Chains A and B, each alone.
Chain A
């Protein structure tokens, strides 16, 4: 269910490596927990983030959740479609519902992240 080509965090973000850049979003588990998403607070391009620093927030009808950067880097693009259609995150969390694109500072940090199989095990642990 969770794509093998993505990296995952314990806070339920995913990261897709594209050369020297990383595309970041929240996982299917995260969007299900939040429910209908109605507003996404996005960062400005150019913002420099440390790993685990808040990128922005995602608001659903019932709650609000911070999104943390899985990796250090500089924001090079944000998904501007989310301003008009924030529910892209509900419909396609690992694809069209991406949130930011970062220029990676240090690829070694990828080693801190989980692979799909580890993330699935992590989720199983949360459900018990």
Chain B
């Protein structure tokens, strides 16, 4: 099992460790609810060094990434970040990811899911073959920390030479954090304001400890993968393998906003265009459980008197204090307010399609 460079720090902090995507990772420290609420109301610090970092570099890097993804990479200037996907020719997901524009048109960083890093690297390398680019997997060299929550800027600013007040959402810059060279982006996977901090340094625990020391008195908590999952679901951020996969198209996942048909050709474009014209047969929707109980992944879902699918993501949402989840439903059941049922062992719970995201932070 792989370990991140912060492994010892987590064990020292009393984290409960689990295997995730081949890494030994902290699932919780104090408890999922406390950690979740800390991120919503103050701040939380995550070790997400298991994430994959793939670099596409060369004179045709822009053309290559354009071809691999549905979003329009040409809109990115250096220092900008974009949420997008790696798509199959069928318009389904190899993965979802962030693209960081390092240099136009010749250098892009793809940040991908840990569980998919090897698959994605092989995919990108193969599909990039006709382009003049090098594709390099730099995942093992990178550590990544995420500082998320309304106090994130206040906690990070004293530790960095970057002017965080000038850093807009979905942009990044290079600078020092706790004296260590880092890439800092205003991005995250929680629905809160915050930063993701990437470094190639061998000693990211210096950054971790500096942030904890600065933020501890302000209520900052270390946060494990357990609360990372409940936070991202409240914000309706996708989890590959649960909500999106190589069986679901980008449009079915209700991510039409990342598909830019005008930009030129890309993998899956023809299928997605056809799907758009013909209309979707199923779509990913958010639901709340109306009856008492919690829907979990793979619980059967019934509508119109038959089983139509199963729950993708489902959990108790600690901030909203409700049982929520995501499910693909036949299109005729996807309108807001539609009721359907979820099988939970010997019972059927009533659930209702609701608007998403379940949680949206108030912008300052």
Contacts and interface: CB of A to CB of B under 8 A. Distances in A.
A29 to B, nearest CB: 12
Interface residues of B, number: 16
B294 A59 contact: yes
A61 B292 contact: no
Contacts of B32: 35-36, 60-62
B287 interface: no
Contact of B315 (A32, A41, A62, A90): A62
B195 interface: no
B295 to A, nearest CB: 11
A57 to B, nearest CB: 8
Contacts of A62: 27, 32, 226, 315
Nearest to A57: B345
B31 A59 contact: no
Contacts of A61: 32-33, 226, 230, 315-316, 318
B226 A35 contact: yes
A38 B323 CA distance: 10
A39 interface: yes
24 contacts: A32-B16, A35-B28, A35-B31, A35-B32, A35-B226, A36-B31, A36-B32, A36-B34, A36-B318, A38-B33, A38-B294, A39-B292, A39-B294, A41-B293, A59-B294, A60-B32, A61-B33, A61-B226, A61-B230, A62-B27, A62-B226, A63-B296, A64-B296, A90-B31
Given A39-B292, A41-B293, A62-B315, 15 more contacts: A35-B32, A36-B34, A36-B318, A39-B293, A39-B294, A39-B316, A59-B294, A60-B32, A61-B226, A61-B230, A61-B315, A61-B318, A62-B27, A62-B32, A62-B226
Interface of B: 16, 27-28, 31-34, 226, 230, 292-294, 296, 315-316, 318
Interface of A: 32, 35-36, 38-39, 41, 59-64, 90
What 10 A-B pairs have minimum CB-CB distances, sorted nearest first? A36-B33, A61-B32, A36-B31, A61-B316, A38-B316, A59-B294, A36-B32, A62-B226, A35-B32, A35-B31
